[in-house]
Chain A
Amino acid sequence: MARRVRSGQAGAALVIAMGTLAAACAAPGSNSPQPAATSTSSQPTSQSAAPTCGTAPITMNGYFETGFPLPKALTTEFSKQHPNVTWNIREDQFAVITQNAPRVLADNPPDLMRLPQVSELVKDNLLKNLDGYAQAFGWDKWPASQLEQLRLGPGGRPRGEGSLYALGLNFSMTGVFYNKKLAAQIGMSTPPATLAELDAALAKAKDAGITPIVQFNGGATGGLAFPLQNLMASYGPPGPINDWIFQKPGATIDTPSNLQAVQHLDRWVKAGYFQKDVNAVDYATMMSRFIDGQGLFMFNGDWESGNLDKQMAGNVGFSLMPPAQQGGKQAAMSAPLTFGIAANAKNADCAAFFLNWVATDQKARDVGVEVGGSHPMGPADAYMPKVSSDTVTASTLAAGADIAKDNGAMDFIANATGAIYAKSWTPNLQKLVGGQQTPQELLKAVQADYAGQIEGN
């Protein structure tokens, strides 16, 4: 028989071991970066000349998003113009970046990183304050609306004002794409001008046996947030929605006009305008179905313009969401493709120089439009690449100008907090589709989660 250690003895050893291990650790996070670590003293505010990448060989560390060719195309072009700069780029899916962002910025700070929602990163002092660079490069003279979403108050709240903590490679916008061939089948020659006209087109498509809207709503990213926010823009002004996304005190998503928007979406669901399996459709499936001609409309963003121009050349149109009343103001989800510099980045100056180059260099702006399909950042009078007028890219760029005119840019409602998309909008929108949630309950549930998450941080 094997000799057995008496259980009391073993238990004691275990307790001692566990106790020693636990007692050896201080409270978690006690060695976290302190606010002083990113004070503006390290910023080039006092410098008269703007920072550059210098002439000595330099390797930049980038952390980009998989599936978006724009950042890599820009870095390649940049290295052509500045041969001393080489890039060491890591790529991941956006969901992975979102989850990794805090730890990567803290432990292995990249020089340039695609960022998710930034409030919580600013709160933890993980991002470089870009005010000094903004002054040195003159970013503060660009149209204020371009940088608004990237400004944050002390401690990360509210957004929309305060110091600049990130910059966009361009700013993208969402609206309604439509298949021109299918549109012709139901006698739709121009995009709907009012919400009622859109409703009529949807009904006609359904009667003609055409799927009115292909949309994704599966997994942890509920794509019905796209049409929902567009409907919110039809029914109400964008201001209060932005306040909510920017975590302004007292802001709520549970407003009468937003309720009308959710009710309208609910009617679309009940009328069968979305595909029956919308809760199991992911983004890639939606794209392949739309390109395959399996639906008339798709709510999506101009980041697909270049792709659609290639895959459905001449057969795809784009319009902003029509207003509820004829001639009403238009609004849209419009957000910069956010990139930031880690608080402890080794080559922060070069990263800032690169961001400025993306917005101001002619070649870079060409790449931004051709590859990215969206409007470049930069001064209002900056060079704009010529785009063939019969392309979707031309329509989305024109729509961007309309939004700017109506001052209708909104951030994405899924960006209000780090977890609101996966843990609140998505399950609630899926429940709405499944008939398990009323529009009123949906807004109440999202607002409750939002309040909890803000309080939790």
Chain B
Amino acid sequence: MGLDDPWQQVVSAALLGTERQPFTVPMVSGKVGQLLTQVSHLSPEAALLTTAAILSLHRQAGWLPRTYPVVAQKPYQDDDLPRCSPRAACLLQQMLQGQYTQVLPEWLAIASKQRQRVPELYLPELLDAGRQQRDLRAAILLVLGQRGRWLAAQNPDWSYAVEVATEEDWETGSTAARLLYLQDLRSHQPDRARELLQGTWSQESAGDRAKFLEILRIELSMADEPFLEEKLGDRSKEVRRVAADLLANLPDSRLCQRMTERINALIPAKAHQDGIQIELPASCDTEMLRDGVGQSTPNRNLGEKANWLLQMIAGVPLRFWQQTFCQTPTELVKAAALSEWKTVLLDGWAQAARRHGDRDWAAAILNYSGKSARGQVCVEVLSEEQLEAVVIHELQSDPGQLNQLLWILQRHQNPWSVELAREVMHGLSNLVPETTVLWQLRSALEEFALRIPPELITEATDLRTTFEDNTILNSAIHHFLALLQFRYDMRQAFEQPSSVGHSIPQGAH
């Protein structure tokens, strides 16, 4: 559109004003032109306004849509997962809008277990949620269905949900995408993942190397040992730390052997009969430094040498102690308690138990240490069954001591057994309010509501009367019950057929 365009001529004239320049009606052909000739006898202002009206209406009435080439649509694959039920979708939407958000991981877990997907309408909000909460991403990927992944590919904000499916992406993708790919590959083909990392190691930036190496923690095995041993000599301190830590998780690694030899040298020859005796290392040589000793201070209450000793013990396979002293873990813990280096031994063993997932040792140390930093390390090692057994045992002997067990229960991140849930609820109704740390219990209640099997909702409702007179816990119990109720509704919603509400209706009655 240039100055020849009659509409532009009118706009220019209007901007300038008729007092500066008299208005001349533009020449237009056709019927509009005929209409415009009738305007010329009017005053310049009236002529300008009328011309503007005629031309703009003519333009708008004659407007035609643009045409783009039609891009042939790839026929949509119909073999997508079935949608979840409308009721389940409605509860999902409630969570995405900020209510009961704690339950979202459970919703995602049920949906993926039932192999159902999120209905189209809720995909944008769900993908946004995953953008903000990284820990949800893995679960979200499983319920997006083909439609969701297609959608995610259209928006750069949702790139995390786009499948990194081939090794080509390993060469070219973003760091985040490559980490995800390596993680995924490592859980299926651990050797292939390590080889891939080995191949590009020298091109990786110093910052990324430690992150990639950390992924080898998944499915860690002796096959990784030569690669990790080599990385003990890496230029980056962080890479050396990760490598040493991973090697200490492998009882048969050369690092563990070296640690064992070092410790063996520190045990006096005659010590084996009368309790546990051990000496402090005199110095930390370069070999020890290379194996990660002295690079950090695990316990600030101990001296430098005691910390070296602790780090070495943490790298020694626990079977060494059983073989050397011919005692069970429980006996060894008892003996260590009498030792001069009690803290060093027990902390070191607790770390070794966590590294090797040794539940017997963890249980023995927990039994002795109770609620402490060391005890918490041990609780992480225990199996669900062991954890539950500890708590159930304690509660059965004294239901009132629920308070003292909260820290263990809060470690139990998985759904509880019916038996444990019943014991805990029994414990709740037997609480002595005067001895209770209320704020702690209040936050624990919220976690309980996420772990108790929802089918116990009716039994749980009885708790309302227990706390009727306690103003602080009363509201917490209501919140607890509401959460449990929400989870109950959610379970029910997933039992509904996934097609309800989409059938073709036949009139209202």
Q: Are A and B physically bound partners? A: no
